[in-house]
Protein backbone atom coordinates (compact mmCIF):
# COMPACT_ATOMS: atom_id res chain seq x y z
CA UNK A 1 0.00 0.00 0.00
CA UNK A 2 2.90 2.36 0.76
CA UNK A 3 4.29 1.99 -2.77
CA UNK A 4 0.83 2.51 -4.28
CA UNK A 5 0.27 5.70 -2.26
CA UNK A 6 3.61 7.05 -3.46
CA UNK A 7 2.57 6.76 -7.12
CA UNK A 8 -1.05 7.96 -6.96
CA UNK A 9 -1.86 11.58 -7.76
CA UNK A 10 -5.11 13.36 -6.87
CA UNK A 11 -6.18 16.51 -8.71
CA UNK A 12 -8.58 18.92 -7.01
CA UNK A 13 -9.99 22.08 -8.59
CA UNK A 14 -13.02 24.27 -7.96
CA UNK A 15 -15.56 25.24 -10.57
CA UNK A 16 -14.26 28.34 -12.29
CA UNK A 17 -15.38 30.74 -15.00
CA UNK A 18 -12.61 32.47 -16.94
CA UNK A 19 -13.15 35.57 -19.03
CA UNK A 20 -14.03 39.24 -19.19
CA UNK A 21 -17.18 40.02 -17.21
CA UNK A 22 -17.21 36.76 -15.24
CA UNK A 23 -17.14 38.76 -11.99
CA UNK A 24 -20.71 39.82 -12.74
CA UNK A 25 -21.92 36.24 -12.18
CA UNK A 26 -21.35 36.47 -8.41
CA UNK A 27 -24.99 37.16 -7.64
CA UNK A 28 -26.25 34.32 -9.80
CA UNK A 29 -23.87 31.84 -8.18
CA UNK A 30 -24.77 33.02 -4.67
CA UNK A 31 -28.47 32.58 -5.47
CA UNK A 32 -27.85 29.12 -6.94
CA UNK A 33 -26.13 28.16 -3.69
CA UNK A 34 -29.32 29.10 -1.83
CA UNK A 35 -27.72 32.06 -0.08
CA UNK A 36 -29.72 34.88 1.49
CA UNK A 37 -27.00 37.10 2.96
CA UNK A 38 -23.36 37.37 1.92
CA UNK A 39 -20.29 38.54 3.76
CA UNK A 40 -18.31 40.43 1.12
CA UNK A 41 -14.64 40.22 2.14
CA UNK A 42 -12.35 42.77 0.51
CA UNK A 43 -9.72 45.40 1.33
CA UNK A 44 -9.51 49.20 1.15
CA UNK A 45 -7.59 49.20 -2.14
CA UNK A 46 -10.17 47.03 -3.90
CA UNK A 47 -12.97 49.17 -2.46
CA UNK A 48 -11.25 52.31 -3.79
CA UNK A 49 -10.82 50.69 -7.22
CA UNK A 50 -14.58 50.12 -7.38
CA UNK A 51 -14.58 46.32 -7.74
CA UNK A 52 -16.15 45.60 -4.33
CA UNK A 53 -19.00 48.02 -5.00
CA UNK A 54 -19.65 46.51 -8.41
CA UNK A 55 -19.92 43.00 -6.93
CA UNK A 56 -22.16 44.31 -4.14
CA UNK A 57 -24.50 45.69 -6.81
CA UNK A 58 -24.78 42.35 -8.64
CA UNK A 59 -25.51 40.61 -5.32
CA UNK A 60 -28.38 43.02 -4.68
CA UNK A 61 -29.70 42.50 -8.23
CA UNK A 62 -29.90 38.76 -7.47
CA UNK A 63 -31.75 39.31 -4.21
CA UNK A 64 -28.75 38.67 -1.98
CA UNK A 65 -28.31 41.02 0.96
CA UNK A 66 -24.73 41.66 2.05
CA UNK A 67 -22.43 43.20 4.61
CA UNK A 68 -18.85 44.24 3.89
CA UNK A 69 -15.74 43.31 5.84
CA UNK A 70 -12.79 45.26 4.44
CA UNK A 71 -10.34 45.36 7.36
CA UNK A 72 -7.88 43.05 5.60
CA UNK A 73 -4.19 43.92 5.29
CA UNK A 74 -1.47 42.39 3.11
CA UNK A 75 -0.32 39.13 4.74
CA UNK A 76 -3.69 38.63 6.51
CA UNK A 77 -3.41 38.34 10.27
CA UNK A 78 -5.12 35.80 12.52
CA UNK A 79 -6.79 38.69 14.34
CA UNK A 80 -8.35 39.88 11.08
CA UNK A 81 -9.83 36.42 10.48
CA UNK A 82 -11.39 36.37 13.93
CA UNK A 83 -12.71 39.91 13.45
CA UNK A 84 -14.20 38.78 10.13
CA UNK A 85 -15.91 35.89 11.91
CA UNK A 86 -17.68 38.38 14.19
CA UNK A 87 -18.93 40.29 11.13
CA UNK A 88 -20.09 37.04 9.51
CA UNK A 89 -22.07 35.98 12.58
CA UNK A 90 -23.44 39.45 13.37
CA UNK A 91 -24.71 39.75 9.81
CA UNK A 92 -26.43 36.35 9.85
CA UNK A 93 -24.48 35.45 6.71
CA UNK A 94 -24.65 32.13 4.89
CA UNK A 95 -22.16 32.64 2.05
CA UNK A 96 -18.78 34.38 1.70
CA UNK A 97 -17.82 36.38 -1.39
CA UNK A 98 -14.16 37.32 -1.69
CA UNK A 99 -13.19 40.25 -3.93
CA UNK A 100 -9.46 40.86 -3.84
CA UNK A 101 -6.00 39.39 -4.10
CA UNK A 102 -4.51 36.49 -2.19
CA UNK A 103 -4.61 38.22 1.19
CA UNK A 104 -8.34 38.86 0.91
CA UNK A 105 -9.03 35.33 -0.36
CA UNK A 106 -6.99 33.71 2.41
CA UNK A 107 -8.76 35.81 5.03
CA UNK A 108 -12.13 34.80 3.54
CA UNK A 109 -11.09 31.15 3.67
CA UNK A 110 -10.06 31.60 7.29
CA UNK A 111 -13.41 33.17 8.20
CA UNK A 112 -15.20 30.20 6.63
CA UNK A 113 -13.04 27.70 8.53
CA UNK A 114 -13.65 29.26 11.94
CA UNK A 115 -17.36 29.87 11.32
CA UNK A 116 -17.91 26.15 10.74
CA UNK A 117 -15.45 24.73 13.27
CA UNK A 118 -15.79 27.20 16.18
CA UNK A 119 -12.07 27.34 17.02
CA UNK A 120 -9.29 29.87 16.59
CA UNK A 121 -7.84 29.99 13.09
CA UNK A 122 -4.31 29.10 14.25
CA UNK A 123 -5.61 25.71 15.46
CA UNK A 124 -5.93 24.50 11.86
CA UNK A 125 -2.29 24.74 10.77
CA UNK A 126 -0.95 21.88 8.67
CA UNK A 127 -2.43 19.36 6.27
CA UNK A 128 -6.03 18.06 6.45
CA UNK A 129 -6.82 19.63 9.82
CA UNK A 130 -10.19 21.20 8.90
CA UNK A 131 -12.86 18.72 10.11
CA UNK A 132 -16.08 20.50 9.08
CA UNK A 133 -16.68 22.10 5.67
CA UNK A 134 -16.88 25.92 5.63
CA UNK A 135 -19.88 27.78 4.19
CA UNK A 136 -19.93 28.36 0.44
CA UNK A 137 -17.15 30.59 -0.89
CA UNK A 138 -17.24 32.55 -4.16
CA UNK A 139 -13.94 34.15 -5.17
CA UNK A 140 -13.23 37.02 -7.55
CA UNK A 141 -9.45 37.49 -7.77
CA UNK A 142 -8.18 41.00 -8.53
CA UNK A 143 -4.52 40.12 -9.07
CA UNK A 144 -2.80 37.78 -11.52
CA UNK A 145 -0.65 36.02 -9.00
CA UNK A 146 -1.60 34.17 -5.86
CA UNK A 147 -4.34 31.90 -7.24
CA UNK A 148 -5.68 31.40 -3.72
CA UNK A 149 -9.04 31.38 -5.47
CA UNK A 150 -8.42 27.88 -6.90
CA UNK A 151 -6.09 26.36 -4.28
CA UNK A 152 -6.22 24.09 -1.26
CA UNK A 153 -4.01 26.56 0.67
CA UNK A 154 -4.77 29.37 3.10
CA UNK A 155 -1.81 31.35 4.49
CA UNK A 156 -2.41 33.31 7.70
CA UNK A 157 0.07 35.37 9.75
CA UNK A 158 0.56 34.47 13.41
CA UNK A 159 1.54 37.91 14.71
CA UNK A 160 2.62 36.62 18.12
CA UNK A 161 5.13 34.19 16.60
CA UNK A 162 5.85 36.48 13.60
CA UNK A 163 5.42 33.64 11.13
CA UNK A 164 2.95 32.66 8.43
CA UNK A 165 1.12 29.39 8.94
CA UNK A 166 -0.14 27.21 6.09
CA UNK A 167 -3.56 25.57 6.24
CA UNK A 168 -3.80 22.95 3.49
CA UNK A 169 -7.10 21.16 3.04
CA UNK A 170 -9.60 20.25 0.36
CA UNK A 171 -12.14 21.96 2.64
CA UNK A 172 -10.71 25.39 1.75
CA UNK A 173 -11.05 24.98 -2.02
CA UNK A 174 -13.61 27.64 -3.06
CA UNK A 175 -16.94 26.59 -4.52
CA UNK A 176 -16.44 28.79 -7.55
CA UNK A 177 -13.84 31.24 -8.80
CA UNK A 178 -14.80 33.98 -11.25
CA UNK A 179 -11.48 34.73 -12.94
CA UNK A 180 -11.79 38.07 -14.70
CA UNK A 181 -8.67 39.83 -16.00
CA UNK A 182 -10.59 43.13 -16.18
CA UNK A 183 -9.95 43.53 -12.45
CA UNK A 184 -6.17 43.61 -13.05
CA UNK A 185 -6.17 46.95 -14.85
CA UNK A 186 -6.24 48.79 -11.52
CA UNK A 187 -3.03 47.13 -10.24
CA UNK A 188 0.04 49.36 -9.92
CA UNK A 189 3.36 48.19 -11.47
CA UNK A 190 4.84 46.96 -8.18
CA UNK A 191 1.79 44.83 -7.39
CA UNK A 192 1.72 43.54 -10.97
CA UNK A 193 5.38 42.51 -10.71
CA UNK A 194 5.12 40.94 -7.26
CA UNK A 195 1.99 38.93 -8.00
CA UNK A 196 3.24 37.89 -11.44
CA UNK A 197 6.51 36.61 -10.02
CA UNK A 198 4.60 34.84 -7.25
CA UNK A 199 2.65 32.97 -9.94
CA UNK A 200 5.87 32.10 -11.74
CA UNK A 201 7.33 30.67 -8.53
CA UNK A 202 4.13 28.65 -8.01
CA UNK A 203 4.60 27.07 -11.42
CA UNK A 204 8.34 26.40 -11.08
CA UNK A 205 8.05 24.90 -7.60
CA UNK A 206 5.06 22.76 -8.59
CA UNK A 207 6.94 21.38 -11.60
CA UNK A 208 10.01 20.33 -9.56
CA UNK A 209 7.96 19.26 -6.52
CA UNK A 210 8.28 15.70 -5.25
CA UNK A 211 4.48 15.53 -5.45
CA UNK A 212 4.23 16.61 -9.08
CA UNK A 213 2.19 14.52 -11.49
CA UNK A 214 1.11 14.49 -15.14
CA UNK A 215 -1.83 16.87 -14.64
CA UNK A 216 0.02 19.37 -12.46
CA UNK A 217 2.95 19.29 -14.90
CA UNK A 218 0.70 20.35 -17.80
CA UNK A 219 -0.58 23.36 -15.88
CA UNK A 220 2.84 24.28 -14.48
CA UNK A 221 4.57 24.35 -17.87
CA UNK A 222 1.81 26.35 -19.52
CA UNK A 223 1.92 28.82 -16.62
CA UNK A 224 5.68 29.28 -17.01
CA UNK A 225 5.27 29.91 -20.74
CA UNK A 226 2.46 32.42 -20.30
CA UNK A 227 3.92 34.35 -17.37
CA UNK A 228 7.45 34.51 -18.77
CA UNK A 229 6.06 35.70 -22.09
CA UNK A 230 3.67 38.35 -20.74
CA UNK A 231 4.90 39.80 -17.43
CA UNK A 232 7.21 42.40 -18.92
CA UNK A 233 4.60 43.18 -21.57
CA UNK A 234 1.97 44.18 -18.99
CA UNK A 235 4.54 46.24 -17.10
CA UNK A 236 5.47 48.08 -20.29
CA UNK A 237 1.87 48.36 -21.52
CA UNK A 238 -0.48 48.23 -18.50
CA UNK A 239 -3.60 48.50 -20.70
CA UNK A 240 -2.66 45.60 -23.00
CA UNK A 241 -5.85 43.53 -22.85
CA UNK A 242 -4.33 40.35 -24.33
CA UNK A 243 -1.27 40.43 -22.08
CA UNK A 244 -3.42 40.98 -18.97
CA UNK A 245 -5.64 38.04 -19.96
CA UNK A 246 -2.58 35.85 -20.53
CA UNK A 247 -1.17 36.79 -17.12
CA UNK A 248 -4.48 35.92 -15.45
CA UNK A 249 -4.62 32.64 -17.37
CA UNK A 250 -1.01 31.89 -16.43
CA UNK A 251 -1.79 32.58 -12.80
CA UNK A 252 -4.80 30.24 -12.99
CA UNK A 253 -2.68 27.45 -14.48
CA UNK A 254 -0.03 27.98 -11.80
CA UNK A 255 -2.65 27.83 -9.06
CA UNK A 256 -4.04 24.54 -10.32
CA UNK A 257 -0.48 23.17 -10.46
CA UNK A 258 0.71 24.13 -7.00
CA UNK A 259 -2.60 23.40 -5.30
CA UNK A 260 -2.11 19.77 -6.29
CA UNK A 261 1.69 19.35 -6.42
CA UNK A 262 2.43 21.69 -3.48
CA UNK A 263 5.47 23.96 -3.37
CA UNK A 264 9.03 24.00 -2.06
CA UNK A 265 11.79 25.88 -0.29
CA UNK A 266 11.11 29.25 -1.94
CA UNK A 267 7.66 29.40 -0.39
CA UNK A 268 8.72 27.88 2.93
CA UNK A 269 11.42 30.55 3.24
CA UNK A 270 9.14 33.31 1.97
CA UNK A 271 6.44 32.39 4.51
CA UNK A 272 9.01 32.63 7.29
CA UNK A 273 10.37 35.90 5.92
CA UNK A 274 6.99 37.50 5.22
CA UNK A 275 5.65 36.66 8.66
CA UNK A 276 8.80 37.98 10.34
CA UNK A 277 9.11 41.28 8.46
CA UNK A 278 5.58 41.69 7.00
CA UNK A 279 7.03 41.98 3.50
CA UNK A 280 5.21 41.54 0.18
CA UNK A 281 4.95 37.81 -0.47
CA UNK A 282 5.73 38.01 -4.18
CA UNK A 283 8.82 40.10 -3.56
CA UNK A 284 10.07 37.61 -0.94
CA UNK A 285 9.64 34.83 -3.50
CA UNK A 286 11.43 36.79 -6.21
CA UNK A 287 14.38 37.65 -3.96
CA UNK A 288 14.85 33.99 -3.04
CA UNK A 289 13.97 32.25 -6.32
CA UNK A 290 17.32 32.09 -8.12
CA UNK A 291 19.17 31.14 -4.92
CA UNK A 292 16.80 28.21 -4.28
CA UNK A 293 16.97 27.09 -7.93
CA UNK A 294 20.77 27.03 -7.62
CA UNK A 295 20.48 24.84 -4.50
CA UNK A 296 17.89 22.48 -6.03
CA UNK A 297 19.34 22.23 -9.54
CA UNK A 298 21.53 19.10 -9.10
CA UNK A 299 18.55 17.14 -7.77
CA UNK A 300 16.15 17.96 -10.63
CA UNK A 301 18.26 19.03 -13.61
CA UNK A 302 15.99 17.52 -16.27
CA UNK A 303 13.03 19.42 -14.87
CA UNK A 304 14.92 22.71 -14.67
CA UNK A 305 16.09 22.26 -18.27
CA UNK A 306 12.43 21.89 -19.31
CA UNK A 307 11.61 25.08 -17.38
CA UNK A 308 14.41 26.84 -19.26
CA UNK A 309 12.95 25.72 -22.58
CA UNK A 310 9.52 27.10 -21.64
CA UNK A 311 11.32 30.41 -20.95
CA UNK A 312 12.63 30.35 -24.51
CA UNK A 313 16.20 29.35 -23.72
CA UNK A 314 18.13 27.28 -26.28
CA UNK A 315 20.12 24.93 -24.06
CA UNK A 316 21.15 22.45 -26.77
CA UNK A 317 24.81 21.50 -26.78
CA UNK A 318 25.46 22.95 -23.35
CA UNK A 319 26.95 20.99 -20.47
CA UNK A 320 25.24 20.89 -17.09
CA UNK A 321 27.15 23.86 -15.68
CA UNK A 322 26.31 26.07 -18.68
CA UNK A 323 22.60 25.13 -18.61
CA UNK A 324 22.41 25.93 -14.91
CA UNK A 325 24.11 29.30 -15.46
CA UNK A 326 21.80 30.18 -18.37
CA UNK A 327 18.66 29.44 -16.36
CA UNK A 328 19.84 31.42 -13.34
CA UNK A 329 20.77 34.37 -15.53
CA UNK A 330 17.35 34.36 -17.20
CA UNK A 331 15.51 34.24 -13.87
CA UNK A 332 17.61 37.15 -12.58
CA UNK A 333 17.10 39.11 -15.79
CA UNK A 334 13.34 38.70 -15.57
CA UNK A 335 13.00 39.72 -11.93
CA UNK A 336 15.35 42.70 -12.32
CA UNK A 337 13.50 43.83 -15.46
CA UNK A 338 10.23 43.56 -13.51
CA UNK A 339 11.67 45.98 -10.93
CA UNK A 340 12.41 43.53 -8.13
CA UNK A 341 16.03 44.41 -7.37
CA UNK A 342 16.22 44.56 -3.59
CA UNK A 343 18.31 42.25 -1.45
CA UNK A 344 17.15 41.00 1.94
CA UNK A 345 19.55 43.40 3.64
CA UNK A 346 17.83 46.27 1.85
CA UNK A 347 14.57 44.97 3.29
CA UNK A 348 15.95 45.26 6.84
CA UNK A 349 16.91 41.60 7.29
CA UNK A 350 20.16 41.10 9.22
CA UNK A 351 22.44 38.14 9.83
CA UNK A 352 21.16 37.91 13.39
CA UNK A 353 17.67 37.16 12.00
CA UNK A 354 18.72 34.17 9.90
CA UNK A 355 18.64 31.52 12.63
CA UNK A 356 15.00 32.18 13.53
CA UNK A 357 14.04 32.51 9.87
CA UNK A 358 15.70 29.20 9.00
CA UNK A 359 14.09 27.28 11.87
CA UNK A 360 10.63 28.51 10.92
CA UNK A 361 11.20 27.75 7.22
CA UNK A 362 12.22 24.18 8.02
CA UNK A 363 8.94 23.71 9.93
CA UNK A 364 6.81 24.94 7.01
CA UNK A 365 4.79 22.22 5.20
CA UNK A 366 6.05 23.43 1.80
CA UNK A 367 9.58 22.24 2.61
CA UNK A 368 8.42 18.61 2.50
CA UNK A 369 7.98 18.54 -1.28
CA UNK A 370 11.15 20.47 -2.15
CA UNK A 371 13.15 18.32 -4.62
CA UNK A 372 16.27 18.45 -2.43
CA UNK A 373 15.87 17.93 1.30
CA UNK A 374 17.63 20.83 3.06
CA UNK A 375 19.07 20.88 6.55
CA UNK A 376 19.21 23.95 8.78
CA UNK A 377 22.58 25.13 7.46
CA UNK A 378 21.37 24.85 3.83
CA UNK A 379 18.44 27.18 4.49
CA UNK A 380 20.60 29.59 6.45
CA UNK A 381 23.14 29.67 3.60
CA UNK A 382 20.45 30.46 1.02
CA UNK A 383 19.23 33.36 3.15
CA UNK A 384 22.85 34.55 3.47
CA UNK A 385 23.25 34.52 -0.32
CA UNK A 386 20.10 36.62 -0.65
CA UNK A 387 21.39 39.27 1.76
Query: Could you tell me the pTM of the whole model?
Result: 0.96
19-59 pLDDT, tens per residue? 999 999 999 999 999 999 999 999 999 999 999 999 999 99
Q: 300: closest CA among 253, 264, 332, 267?
A: 264
Residues 22 and 181: their CA atoms lie apart, in Å, by: 9
* The pLDDT value given to residue 3: 65
Q: Could you state, in order of their start, the residue ranges of all structural domains in the chain?
A: 9-184, 189-386
Residues 74 and 77: their CA atoms lie apart, in Å, by: 8
Over the chain, what is the mean pLDDT?
96
Which stretches of the chain score pLDDT less than 70? 1-6
Q: Per-residue b/e over 145-158, b at no fewer than 16 CB within 10 Å? A: bbbbbbbbbbbbbb
Confirm if 26 and 178 have CB atoms less than 8 A apart. yes
Confirm if 105 and 141 have CB atoms less than 8 A apart. yes
Superfamily of domain 189-386 in CATH is Dehydroquinate synthase-like - alpha domain (1.20.1090.10)
Confirm if 30 and 63 have CB atoms less than 8 A apart. no
CATH number of the 9-184 domain: 3.40.50.1970
Torsion, Cα 188 193 199 205, to 10 degrees, reads -160
* The pLDDT value given to residue 7: 77
Amino acid sequence: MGNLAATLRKFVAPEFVFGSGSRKLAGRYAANLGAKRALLVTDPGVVAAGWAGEVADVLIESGIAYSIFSAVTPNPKAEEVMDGLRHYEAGGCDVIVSVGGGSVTDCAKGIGIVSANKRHILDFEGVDNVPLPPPPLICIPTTAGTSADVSQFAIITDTAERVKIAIISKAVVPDVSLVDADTCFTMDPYLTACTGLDALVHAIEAFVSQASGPMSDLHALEAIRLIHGNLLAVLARPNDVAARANMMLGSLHAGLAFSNASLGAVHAMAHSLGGFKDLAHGECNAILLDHVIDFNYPQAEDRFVRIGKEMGLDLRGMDSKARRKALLEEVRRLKFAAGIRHTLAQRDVGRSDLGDLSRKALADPCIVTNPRRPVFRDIEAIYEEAL
